[in-house]
Structure 1
């Protein structure tokens, strides 16, 4: 009789163990996929929180930001012209002979 009452308990624990193992494997796979997806989305500056999805700006270092800004300003300065501007401090490439010719 003892063998008859132990057999269902052994089968029950075996089935519960198998289900627990399957559940653990599924849980670990879901967590791995979730972590990879989260890392991939954070590369694209999208974050998920309790409040919902948040899209943020890409982080740029202060020095890189200043370099980019200065580069744009230098390019604008180099490619611009001021046709009506005459400097009182320098002659804008005109030689003294050119000034004499213009005065006549």
Structure 2
């Protein structure tokens, strides 16, 4: 009769052990995924804290900021056309203005 009483106890301990191992594996995987995700987000300047999520601004040196801004403005100016605008100082169409200047004199 002693073996019959001990067999369910042994099966219960084996079952609890298996559940503990599976739980530990799941816990390890979840922690690893969380760590990898946190590292990737930190590379993009996003930090997770207990209070929530913080987005940090990357520092751009003043000279680099000015260079980018000037580049955008120059590109806009170079790709803009003024079809109805005729300047007295220069010809935006690229044709020679010398003939018109000779007529005025």
TM-score range, shorter chain: 0.5 to 0.7
The corresponding residue for 1:35 is 35
What is the distance in 2 between the residues matched to 1:35 and 1:28?
11
The corresponding residue for 1:9 is 9
The corresponding residue for 1:44 is 44
Helix, strand or coil: the match of 2:57?
Answer: coil
Helix, strand or coil: the match of 2:10?
Answer: helix
Tell me the CA shift for residue 50 of structure 1.
Answer: 1.1
Specify whether residues 55 and 12 from structure 1 end up closer, same or farther in structure 2 by C-alpha distance, changes over 3 A only. Answer: same
List per-residue Cα deviations over 1:23-50 (Å, max 9, x = no partner): 0000000000000000000000001111
Specify whether residues 13 and 68 from structure 1 end up closer, same or farther in structure 2 by C-alpha distance, changes over 3 A only. Answer: same
Aligned residue runs from structure 1 range 54-65, under 5 A: 54-58=54-58, 65=61
Tell me the CA shift for residue 57 of structure 1.
Answer: 1.7
- Give the TM-score of the pair, scaled to structure 1: 0.58
What is the distance in 1 between the residues matched to 2:26 and 2:59?
35
What is the distance in 2 between the residues matched to 1:36 and 1:59?
24
The size of the alignment, in residue pairs, is 70
Runs of 5+ in structure 2 lacking a partner?
71-105
What is the distance in 2 between the residues matched to 1:2 and 1:58?
71
Tell me the CA shift for residue 68 of structure 1.
Answer: 4.0
Helix, strand or coil: the match of 1:53?
Answer: strand
* Structure 1 residue runs of 4 or more that deviate by more than 2 Å after TM superposition: 65-69
